[in-house]
Structure 1
Amino acid sequence: MRDGRLTLITAIGALLICGWFWHCRQSEQRLTLPDQANATMLLVIQPDEFRIEKGQIQFRGHLSDGRVIQGQYFSKEKENLQRFKFDKTTSVLVTGELGRPLPATNAAEFDYRRYLAKNGVYNTIKVTKLVLKAPVRTLNPFQWWQNKCHELRAQWVTATMQLPATLRLYVQGLFLGWRADDFYETLHAVTDLGLIHLFSISGFHVSWLVNVLSKGLIRLRLTQWIIAWIMLMILPSYFILAGAAPSLFRAVAAAMFGFLVHLLGWRVSSLSLWSFSLIAGLVVYPAILTQFGGQLSYGLAFALLFVGQFKPIKQAILLNLISLPIILYHVYQWHVLTLFVNLLILPIFSVCVFPIVLLAGLLGHSLTGLASAVDGLLNWLTELLNQLAALPGMVVFGQPPIVAVMGLIILTIVLMAQRIKWWSGICLVMMYVTCYGLIHYPTSGEVTFFDIGQGDSFLVTSPRHREITMIDTGGRVNFGGQAVTGRSKALKVSVNYLKSQGIDHIDQLLLSHQDSDHVGDITDVLQNLHVKRLYVPLGMMDNPRFVKRIEADLKNTQVISVKAGDHVSGTNLTVVHPMQAGEGTNEDSMVLHGAYGGRKWLFTGDLDRAGERAILTQFPSLTTDVLKLGHHGSKTSSDPGVLLKLQPQLAIISAGRDNRYGHPNQETMTTLSKQQIPFLSTQTSGMIRYRYTKSGKNQWQTFLKEK
């Protein structure tokens, strides 16, 4: 800042980068194609961007004008999908529904539309017909080189499929930047213990490979000048071979700048090399600093410039401190063993795991004994990590505000720059404690209706989190005997949201009845959050199918069966249905009535009209301000006479977009219109939240702002 000329150059450079970022954001509309129901287009697809897994094809293709399209193709004939497999850059004719990916519709939900847009993808296509045309031939040498790199990567990924399971995951993750569908299921400790950076190819991998190759070339008695030229040719190819991730770009760019300045004989500091890689990264990937991987990659590389003079343990502590605010903002939790495990594992990976995995990956097909032995060692290491991750110590911190994240990062840098002064350390600790307190003890409570598609899942909390109640978990309906795959809506939406609010437990989990769209995700909720009490309608625990589904996860959970007139302990909720024991069907739905934030609420499950009339017979003075319409707005519920007696000021509809049942039914909508009852629907509003405080400052919020 003391150098006026340098400050001016920096300011101009920053303005240019901001202008470039703005230009790229504005070009999103120009690059987005209009929705089309029966679109046909010819795409050029690289073989390593065409995946056949679990009865579906996923791909990323390029139009002739440079637009990138993300595609998906489902087929009932799973065994015939392999006929579409190809190993050359190929033109493919696809027909299907062209549109935009759905944005996040809940707070704290992963925004797939924004993620794709940051990577230059603005359209998706649900393919109904797919025809392979012919391998692509090009006279452009740059494009030919790119195609060959993609083809080689696809061949290597295919070759690794023949390796033993765990060895395959390590080879693909450490050297090819490939994530198999079972990666996180097998290596869940990688994320729990903060080791995902080892499998996200970046500076650690590039430095290791450059070091190994350089030593090998030195042994061949090549000069440093020749080695630098060889590396400048190898690194761009490795960038594509390793998956071309934005976070990898930083490491490759920094290494290439280092070799280039060596050839030119310039004396450039490490900070300047980092700066060159940042500028290059922002030019090629303008949104790189808005992504989790980009933030960690550039943040940790920047921190390394400060901590080089410290001992390894102090280095590890400071590097963990610089990454912690970023991790908490994106993941919401942190394991206390993360620092210890990183100190233990990093040397093991550098000295042992990398070399033996690379060796077994190259020779495993011919030396099956070697592959089996290495696979056994990796299984042992993976099991050790999984056991460490299972130990107590996972702290659900919650999502700190972005301003607090920036403050924590700046304070950590000050701590490093000041050579660990006591006052900066105290300020850092106080800021973490303050953030934790504000997240875990909020002044407001809420009643939240999650948008989980076709199903129900609601959250009720009180100020200071004295009460945390969930009503139903949602779940996916299994149509035609097809297996339900992928992460559940509960993990993507409700569990994720709770953790973002600093919540690691549920005081009361209330299940209205046993249908999959209401309780299908209960296993994920029980496994990821401590549930103190589980309430079910009377008679539902006599259903052996339901009991079998949950009994393995009921470790420290008290199960309570309730009927009309019972009070739900620790809440303002009273059960008003069922009147007698049932089997957990729609007609047996648990219906709850309670007061929160100056309003009376009625949650009706999938109760039919006869059940609604029975409630008014037993509770003739019952009224409500907010009514969750029964059975997702079906005409089998919402009896006009019952609505007239309840006199709700607002109706809430929880239903999936374009669902096959036609919910909400037009008859129900006509009833609401005749009785002048306004409504909100998760179909158009996304997550619906009512926040209230003791002082009466209450507010309705909808996540989507349509209409």
Structure 2
Amino acid sequence: MVLGEALNLWIPAEQMIFGLAVWLLFLVCVFVRRKSRYGLPVFLFVAGMSAGCLRMGAEQAVFSREEGFFREEHEDGVVLQGTVQSVKEKDGTLEVVLRDCAMEGKDGESGEKLRRVLCYLDVNKTGEAAEAVSKQKPSPAVGEKIRVFGEGKAADPARNPGAFDYRLYCRSRGISGIIYAEGYTVTGGKVHVFSDSLYRIRRCFSERLKAIALPEDAGILSAVLFGEKNDLDSEIYELYRKNGISHLLAISGLHVSIVGLGIWKIFRKGGAGFWISGIFAGGFLCAYGMMVGSGASVARAVSMAGLSFLAAAVGRTYDLPTAMCIPAAGLLLAHPYLLSQASFQLSFLAVTSLIYPGRLFSSRGEKLFTDEKISAAASAFFTSLSIQVVTAPVILWHSFGIPVYGVFLNLIVIPLMTYVVISGFLGLGLSFLSESVGGAMLGGAHYILKFYEVICNWTGELPGAELVLGQPEIWKIGCYYGLMIFGAVVYERGMEIAENKKHRLVLLCAAWLAAFLFLLPSRQTGLSATFLDVGQGDGIVLRSESHTILVDCGSSQQKSIGEKVLVPYLKSQGVTRLDLAVMTHGDQDHMNGIRYLLEHPESGIRVGGLMMPEAGKDEIYGKMAELAKKRDVPVFYAQKGDIWNNFPGKGMSMECLSPDGGTEFTDRNEESLVFRLTYGRFSMLLTGDMETSGEETLLTSGVLTPVTILKAGHHGSATSSSEEFIEKLSPSVTILSYGRKNRYGHPAEKVRERLLEHGSKIYETGLSGAVMVRADGKKLKIKTMLPLDTD
């Protein structure tokens, strides 16, 4: 079933139909031989894959219809009625998920039916919400029916390689659209007392933790105990992630085993039977799971714990693979898009690794050592190693780097986490009797968390702490797991291939080494140019086999462009060093991403040099130069006539066409560095924010020649890309870099028309997201992050 859903998610429908036809033909051929012992397994395999494929197809069809409504223009906003399913507070805003929704038409009648919608309610600003606050009801209750009105929109897909795909995340939760509500009114319904009480208990506990815990501990403990990450320090999370222990900050099987098994054992030691103990422990776990959000990892852990209690009660053997598959099937049937989420993938793959190769490793570790303590330590190490091996491709897919020392670090931090959880719950419970006593009980958690921080900082300074390999392609991940399984099967059952166990061990190591090679980044050939979608601004990354160059990166529309767009993109390509960062001029929408890299070396991206225009006289250039020197980054100044041969790669040439270093400009845009990059028959002109006066100077100088690709000046503004300029360049392709719904009206419609009249094909980051160009000196390939007709 998982395979069927995955194929339908990542493979085009036409190929899926062909693949199913082949499988059905194979099934018929198998059943022709009635005596074949493979008939039933093959039938079940194909039936499960077909069921998964059909379930994913049905889900895609529903989302396509529902999201279509939110992609339409609604000048007067949208009005919607639905039942509150969950409420969560984040940064002063309520995230309310509504189910069984109906859109209201202008006549007040019910229109489009929607399954789930996410509403953002600001109780401090909206009229109806403010009235609710005055009535001592600051938020809608679970189970109530409410009517909301405001701006509706579809969730944004990833617009750059390596970026977070918010649309996939919403789909994994069954959410088809978002409403930024101006207000809401309660129209009826019945409050679900139990669910609403759990939500309010969770908020109460989180506030209590803030009151009794130290500020640096409160955010971590809220995340560990209740899944509340709103107050979690982003630097702490990144520290944990880089060292491979970020799973400690999520509710998982570790927490469930501490809480659930602890309650079960208390009841058993108190004389209760298996049924009574299991019912109370399982019931408490279900309530705890609902309180902390019922994410994929929580649902998996609670379900598996409940099945273990049931197995003990009925006197049956607890089978780990079966216990894992039951919640997996249930979750994927309910929400097929969970398959795309890191929480689901890592949670179930970690359990899978305990089954295999964890058991294989552990048994071999126990046989290698006779001493009981050493054998237990070896078994724990091999278990940690097996988790790292099995989850490595998924970690790379979502985080782009593998924490090399995580396999050792987890041996230390996981056992101590038990005491953090116990200390947290005890301190929280005792705080209702005495805040000072409760705070004192959190002392154990405080020192353990401080130890985590110290050891993570220490391991982070070790060489190769994080192995950034980039985001592997889907087919490479498939080959990795294929070779992993092949090696294990040969080792355990390959008697016909090699009777000697040592020979089979060599084959196992060879297969797994070959599997790891598939995770290494592909060798860059030719020239690639990626025009990032940075909103209203520019961001261009040039890559060859030997160098990586950043030409501008900034945005006046998006905050944290360096952290949210630039760094994830570079790491997704396996890049940790920029040979050169070029700032064409000093406007913020061209340089604040570069400044982020210089100010935050912990981002993991090193800068080899900073280039700015010789003509730049503004104080911003001096500030950037000082910042670069603090980081020991050399500063270079470019002007008209500068040429770099075999740069950024062999056979390539980069030439600065403008401006003259001795000229003074009153308009900062006219200081923009203009580069022409040539590679065989391919040429590209990068113009920064150059306007018509600069274009006239270039036309007069006679340095312009026809180019393959033009990056239009000043985001396609009407003050650039003149008729004579376009006619002289005659670009085959033009890139327009701008932000959607920007306040400047970029790009100008007459610029579009002018380019089309001269036969230039236009690619726009505002419409299609990042534009990726590949050239080998002869041929040109261009692809976009989103379909060209996506708005």
Question: Partners of 1:445 and 1:174 in 2: how far apart?
Answer: 46
SS in 2 for 1:442: coil
1:564 aligns with 2:617: no
- Kindly report which structure 2 residues correspond to 1:315-464, keeping only aligned pairs within 5 A, or say none: 315-350=383-418, 352-364=419-431, 366-368=434-436, 369-370=439-440, 373-374=443-444, 376-377=446-447, 378-393=449-464, 394-413=466-485, 418=491, 421-436=505-520, 439-462=521-544
How far residue 470 of structure 1 moved from its aligned partner, in angstroms, is 1.1
Cα distance in 2 between the residues matched to 1:27 and 1:240: 26
Distance of aligned partners of 1:677 and 1:181 in 2 relative to their CA distance in 1, 3 Å threshold: farther
**Match of 1:175?**
225
CA drift of 1:161 comes to 3.5
Q: 2:79 aligns with which of 18, 37, 40?
A: 40
| Partner of residue 88, structure 2 | 49
Which residue matches 2:23?
none
Check whether the contact 1:48–1:153 (CA below 8 A) recurs between aligned residues: no
Q: Deviations over 1:517-545 (max 9, x none)?
A: 11112233343311111101115476158
Residues 635 and 21 (structure 1 numbering): CA distance in 2 closer, same or farther, change over 3 Å? Answer: closer
1:519 paired with 2:572, answer no
Q: Which residue of 1 aligns with 2:3?
A: none
CA separation of 1:543/1:363 partners in 2, compared to 1, >3 Å: closer, same or farther? Answer: farther
C-alpha distance in structure 1 between counterparts of 2:614 and 2:785, whole Å: 35
Q: Distance in 2 between matches of 1:433 and 1:507?
A: 26
Residue range with higher mean Cα deviation, 150-159 or 509-518: 150-159
1:156 corresponds to 2:205: yes
Aligned partners of 1:637 and 1:5: how far apart in 2?
69
Distance 1:172 1:553 in 2: 40
Q: Following TM superposition, by how much is the alpha carbon of 1:262 offset from its aligned partner in structure 2, in angstroms?
A: 3.0
Aligned to 2:115: 67
Letter in 2 for 1:520: N
CA distance in 1, matches of 2:428, 2:555: 40
Alpha-carbon spacing, 1:74–1:646, altered in 2? closer, same or farther (3 Å): farther
| Cα drift, residue 73 of structure 1 | 5.4
- Distance in 2 between residues matched to 1:622 and 1:578, nearest whole Å: 17
- Contact residue 445 and residue 691 of structure 1 kept, 8 A: yes
SS in 1 for 2:381: helix
Q: Tell me how many residue pairs correspond in the alignment.
A: 686
Q: Report the CA distance between 1:336 and its aligned residue.
A: 1.7
Deviation at 1:11, TM superposition (A): 4.5
Aligned partner of residue 707 in structure 2, secondary structure: coil
Q: Which of 160, 174, 177 is the aligned partner of 1:106?
A: 160
Whether 1:698 aligns to 2:780 is yes
For the aligned residue pairs, the C-alpha RMSD in angstroms reads 3.1
Q: Which amino acid aligns with 1:538?
A: E
Map 1:274-313 to 2 at 5 A: 274-306=324-356, 307-308=358-359, 309-310=362-363, 311-313=379-381
Does 2:734 match 1:651?
yes
The answer for the alignment partner of 2:54 in structure 1 is 19
Which runs of 5 or more residues in structure 1 are unaligned?
Answer: 478-483
Structure 2 alignment gaps of length 5 or more:
1-35, 103-113, 364-378, 493-503
Deviation at 1:622, TM superposition (A): 4.3
1:189 is displaced (CA, Å) by 1.2
C-alpha separation between the residues in 1 aligned to 2:696 and 2:393? 53
Q: Report the Cα offset of residue 546 of structure 1.
A: 5.9
- Whether the 8 Å contact between 1:253 and 1:280 is mirrored in structure 2 is no
- Secondary structure of 2:219 counterpart: helix
Contact 1:411 1:424 in 2 (8 A): no
Q: Secondary structure at the match of 2:643?
A: coil
Q: Is the 8 A contact 1:578 1:588 kept in 2?
A: yes
CA contact (8 A) 2:643 2:654 kept: yes
Tell me which residue corresponds to 2:195: 146
- 1:690, 1:304 → 2: CA distance? 43
2:738 partner SS: coil
Q: Deviations over 1:548-569 (max 9, x none)?
A: 6971785242111111112357
| CA distance, structure 2, for counterparts of residue 546 and residue 136 of structure 1 | 63
Q: Are 2:393 and 2:519, in contact at CA under 8 Å, matched by a contact in 1? A: no
CA distance in 2, matches of 1:624, 1:19: 48
**Structure 1 CA distance, aligned partners of 2:757 and 2:49?**
58
1:2–1:492 Cα change, 3 Å: farther
Over 3 Å counting, the alpha-carbon distance change for 1:367 and 1:388 in structure 2 is farther
The one-letter amino acid paired with 2:643 is: H
Amino acid in structure 2 at the alignment position of 1:494: L
Cα distance, 1:113 vs. partner? 0.9
SS of the aligned residue for 2:168 comes to helix
- The DSSP-based 3-state class of the residue aligned with 1:638 is coil
**Can you list the C-alpha shifts for 1:260-296, whole angstroms capped at 9, x where unaligned?**
2333333452222222232223233323333221111
Give, in whole Å, the separation in 1 of the partners of 2:413 and 2:677: 52
Q: Which residue of 2 aligns with 1:593?
A: 676
Aligned amino acid, residue 304 of structure 1: L
Instruction: Report the secondary structure of 2:754's partner residue.
Output: helix
1:469 and 2:506 equivalent?
no
Q: Residue deviations 1:126-153, cap 9 Å, x none?
A: 33x1135388524xxxx54333333332
Closer/same/farther in 2, CA of residues 14 and 235 from structure 1, 3 Å limit: farther
Q: Distance in 2 between matches of 1:688 and 1:64?
A: 37
Q: 1:355 to 1:134 in 2, by over 3 A?
A: farther
Between the aligned partners of 1:21 and 1:585, the Cα distance in structure 2 is 52
- Distance (Å, rounded) in 2 between the aligned partners of 1:3 and 1:643: 67
Change (3 A) 1:85 1:101: same
CA distance in 1, matches of 2:122, 2:638: 43
Q: Does 1:220 align with 2:270?
A: yes
Structure 2 letter corresponding to 1:299: L
Which stretch shifts more, 423-432 or 361-370?
Answer: 361-370
Question: 2:613·2:639 contact (CA, 8 Å) conserved in 1?
Answer: yes
1:84-143 C-alpha deviation (Å, 9 max, x unpaired): 84374355432212231122222332211122112200111233x1135388524xxxx5
Q: Tell me the alpha carbon deviations over residues 471-504 of structure 1, each in whole angstroms, 9 at most, x when there is no partner.
A: 1012335xxxxxx86xx23333332222222211
The percentage of aligned residue pairs carrying the same residue is 24
Once residues 354 and 416 of structure 1 are traced to their aligned partners in structure 2, the CA distance between those partners, rounded to angstroms, is: 36
Cα distance in structure 1, aligned partners of 2:185 and 2:150: 15
Partner of 2:176: helix, strand, or coil? strand
Other-structure match for 2:373: none
Matched, 1:580 2:656: no
Specify the alignment match of 2:13 in structure 1: none
* Change over 3 Å in CA distance of 1:10–1:459 after alignment to 2: closer
Superimposed CA distance per residue, residues 367-402 of structure 1 (whole angstroms, 9 cap, x where no aligned partner): 335167457523453243234334432211122222
Residues 571-598 of structure 1, C-alpha deviations (whole Å, 9 max, x = no match): 3211122213558921211111121362
Letter in 1 for 2:297: S
Q: Is the CA contact 1:440–1:503 (under 8 Å) kept in the aligned structure 2?
A: no
- Tell me, in whole angstroms, the C-alpha distance in 1 between the residues paired with 2:613 and 2:349: 51
* DSSP-derived class of the 2:735 partner: strand
**Residues 548 and 580, structure 2, Cα contact 8 Å, conserved in 1:** yes
CA 1:392–1:360 in 2, change beyond 3 Å: closer, same or farther? farther
**More displaced, 494-503 or 178-187?**
178-187
RCO (CA 8 Å, sep 6+): is it higher in 1 or 2? 1
Tell me whether 497-506 or 670-679 shows the greater mean CA deviation.
670-679
User: 1:631 Cα deviation (Å)?
Assistant: 0.7
Indicate how the Cα distance of structure 1 residues 7 and 433 shifts in structure 2: closer, same or farther if over 3 A, else same.
closer
